[in-house]
Structure 1
Amino acid sequence: MTGLVVAVDGGGTKTDAVALTMDGQIVARRRGPGSSPHFEGLARSLAIVDALVREVSGGAPIGHVDLYLSGLDLPVEIDRYRAAVESLPWAQQGLVIDNDLFALLRSGTNEPDAVAVVCGSGVNAVGVRADGAAVRFPSLGPLSGDWGGGSGLGPEALWFAARDVDGRGEPTTLTAAICAALGVGSVAELIEQLHFGERDDADLYALAPVVFAEAAAGDAVARALVQRQADEVVAFVRAIVARLDLAALSFPIVLGGSILQGGHPMLDDRVAAGIAAIAPHARIVRPDAAPILGAAIAAGLHAGAPPDAIARLRREFARQRVAVMPRG
């Protein structure tokens, strides 16, 4: 293959792009706004990605591109994105498009048998096996059986606080903590603001740290929510291990997202215990590098880069970890 290899990792709030040579040398890195088609729409997402690909390539020929974007959860969503991007000049050679979970996966491991779970604003997982088999989930929220992340913990915390206030539920310190975190005088005031559209429902996602803080302080309701979150993470792993028949193997489980990398001992211990019961030889990996490293590694592998180039790429990212340049 001739030309640069370009990788893009796009989420709801930011998009990272990198261009590299086939020997693993980083040519350019840039960061732009979020490019999830779920939030931005297809046209806006494509415009952001196109600008970043052109910027990191600097006009040089491009031989291969890997795009990993949140919001590409269903096969039809990937197909639609591919149809939209294929007419662009840089998409005429090698092109891989998939969910951003694959970038997280490869940021933590090169191994052919592997699992990745992300828990941040939402929760999702993916598993791969050496023979090419893969397990993924629709990740459509309650519609597809998902619960967790900020979008699960925040509304659930408010549910318990509302029942605390009106006497239907047990007392919880979450009630006062929610009011303090969102700057409201009462839970009733918050509910009214949400009901009349004066406050966005997404504001509740910011309550996840409140739940963990109150759980650490001993609140029973918050502790139960943290335990439920841990069990949801383990449920993803259980399903993947069973469907890919990985239980007897040694393989990495890459954990990412603000919640799973937030250093919450109660959550982490319960997740680790649950995973050990399912796959005793599995290893938990929490990568230090951003998912764009995984996107770059995957792109290099897809383009045919040799193993020493992948090793060099990891070293290059370690040296440049703080050098992600925002777009002007």
Structure 2
Amino acid sequence: MGLSPGRTAAVLAIDAGNSKTDAALVAADGTVLGQGRSGGFRPPTTGVAAAVDVLAEAVAGAVRQAGAGAFGDSADSGDSGDSGGPVAAHVSACLANVDLPVEERTVGAALEARGWGRTVAVHNDTFALLRAGLPPGAEPRGVAVVCGAGINCAGLLPDGRTHRFLALGKLSGDWGGGAGLAAEAIWYAARAEDGRGEPTALATAVPEHFGLRTMYELIEGVHLGRVPVARTQRLAPLLFAVAAGGDAVARSLVDRLADEVVALAAVALERLGLLDEEVPVVLGGSVLAAGHAQLDDRIRMLLTARAPKAVPRVVTAPPVLGAALLGLDHAGAPEEARSRTRQHYG
């Protein structure tokens, strides 16, 4: 996948979550030359080498889409994503499941070995959300909370200092995220049906979602392998729909998620000395970007109480935009280049 001399892009931007990976080749002037998509990035499950193979599929797609107009004869439609030379001057990779410095180093070394760029920077995917949500021309100062399949938060100061959380699930004290909400919905529904818990509409809505009549049938189906576990982790939209209908249990779970989002943001603001400054709190990920009124209203109410000067901003642009902007920052690109990239992603 090597490119002709002088034809490399300025940035190969990669954003990888639990369910999908996006890659983009971006020119020095901010033009998006090509994009690719592949599956989720899950090194704890698959191992680093296999996880990076998934990234390679998205990278190859970006090179193919860029085509001969950008790269001469080097964009091979049959390319697997391994490189005979760099496709960009710099690789800016923002990745889920890279939560510890040792993981950044390990994955960074694996990306360097692929030879996609002359330099490589690896960040947790929360930093892509934060960068995408900063106002144009603003210095890198703020906090981001991402809530998709999981939940995480990161804060950043202009001098490079950050505040992060381990974000390893219950092991590190986390609660929430789409998968976590789904598990709670099933737990409350099961207990409502068998009499140990309080009544909730989830007891009928959850099994009906799978075409079943009872929670007993659903639990049996999961236990015996007839219902894939992965399907049970996608119930967050159903939970929000039941909450919107007034169900007390579902509404309490939505409230608790808002509490967790604000707790993450407020602690990050406090640890970075930003509680008394007007600073963006960027909210993103599939759950926070979905526009759930109860969740949005409670987050704003609680955030106003704990950090009155914080300015919540919901980001719906693809997180790969943030990875691209970080790469253009690294390249010293002018603001007009970053503006061009922003315009591409709407």
Q: TM-score if structure 2 supplies the norm length?
A: 0.86
Q: Give the counterpart of 1:99 among 111, 120, 124.
A: 124
Tell me if structure 2 keeps the 8 A contact 1:111–1:251. Answer: no
Deviation, 1:152, is 1.5
Tell me if structure 1 keeps the 8 A contact 2:36–2:60. Answer: no
Tell me if structure 2 keeps the 8 A contact 1:36–1:69. Answer: no
More deviation, 34-43/180-189: 34-43
More deviation, 191-200/178-187: 191-200
Q: Give the counterpart of 1:83 among 101, 109, 134.
A: 109
Q: Does 1:193 pair with 2:231?
A: no
Query: Partner residue of 1:8?
Result: 14
Tell me if structure 2 keeps the 8 A contact 1:161–1:175. Answer: yes
Q: 1:137-195: CA deviations, max 9, x gaps?
A: 11111111111122211121122122212222211111011111122221112122233
Q: Give the counterpart of 2:23 among 17, 22, 32.
A: 17
Q: Which amino acid aligns with 2:168?
A: L
Tell me if structure 1 keeps the 8 A contact 2:147–2:285. Answer: yes
Query: Partner residue of 2:34?
Result: 28
Q: Considering Cα pairs closer than 8 Å and 6+ residues apart, tell me whether 1 or 2 has the greater RCO.
A: 1
Tell me if structure 2 keeps the 8 A contact 1:37–1:45. Answer: yes
Query: Partner residue of 1:308?
Result: 336
2-side partners of 1:118 and 1:142: how far apart? 17
Q: Which amino acid aligns with 1:100?
A: D
More deviation, 128-137/102-111: 102-111
Count residues in correspondence: 316
2-side partners of 1:133 and 1:103: how far apart? 16
- What aligned pairs does 1:222-237 form with structure 2 within 5 A after superposition? 222-237=250-265
Q: TM-score if structure 1 supplies the norm length?
A: 0.90
Percentage of pairs with the same residue:
45
Q: Which amino acid aligns with 2:104?
A: I
Unmatched tracts of structure 2, length 5 or more: 1-5, 64-70, 75-85
More deviation, 259-268/30-39: 30-39
- What aligned pairs does 1:179-328 form with structure 2 within 5 A after superposition? 179-318=207-346
Deviation, 1:80, is 1.2
Q: Does 1:47 pair with 2:73?
A: no
Query: Partner residue of 1:321?
Result: none
Deviation, 1:292, is 1.0
- Relative to structure 1, the CA distance from residue 203 to residue 306 in structure 2 (aligned partners, 3 Å threshold; closer, same or farther) is same
More deviation, 2-11/123-132: 2-11
1-side partners of 2:244 and 2:221: how far apart? 29
Deviation, 1:111, is 3.6
Q: Which amino acid aligns with 1:97?
A: V
Deviation, 1:51, is 4.3
Tell me if structure 2 keeps the 8 A contact 1:107–1:297. Answer: yes
1-side partners of 2:235 and 2:89: how far apart? 44
Query: Partner residue of 1:72?
Result: 98
Deviation, 1:96, is 0.4
Unmatched tracts of structure 1, length 5 or more: 319-328
Q: Give the counterpart of 2:170 among 129, 138, 142.
A: 142
